[in-house]
Structure 1
């Protein structure tokens, strides 16, 4: 399951790079080391919990 999650994340990052109008982070940011990826994901999920979803 973990390789699929990693592929999904990479695809999402690539799509975000190709659609700069919704860019939330600089393109040249350093990737998160694998050992911290889950913690960082949870952090950003918690950070965005109170925000209403933006319609696309």
Structure 2
């Protein structure tokens, strides 16, 4: 059976888990706003090669 966009269905458990992780991450940044710039600087360091 070929896989087509019409035959694909999201896994409800995975969708829920990703949503829950997203919500927890936002709550963490809300409680610890300093982490936003800290994590952004870390990502920039990786992007820049060190």
Q: What TM-score comes out, normalization by structure 2 length? A: 0.43
* More helix by percentage: 2
Q: What TM-score comes out, normalization by structure 1 length? A: 0.38
Larger radius of gyration: 2
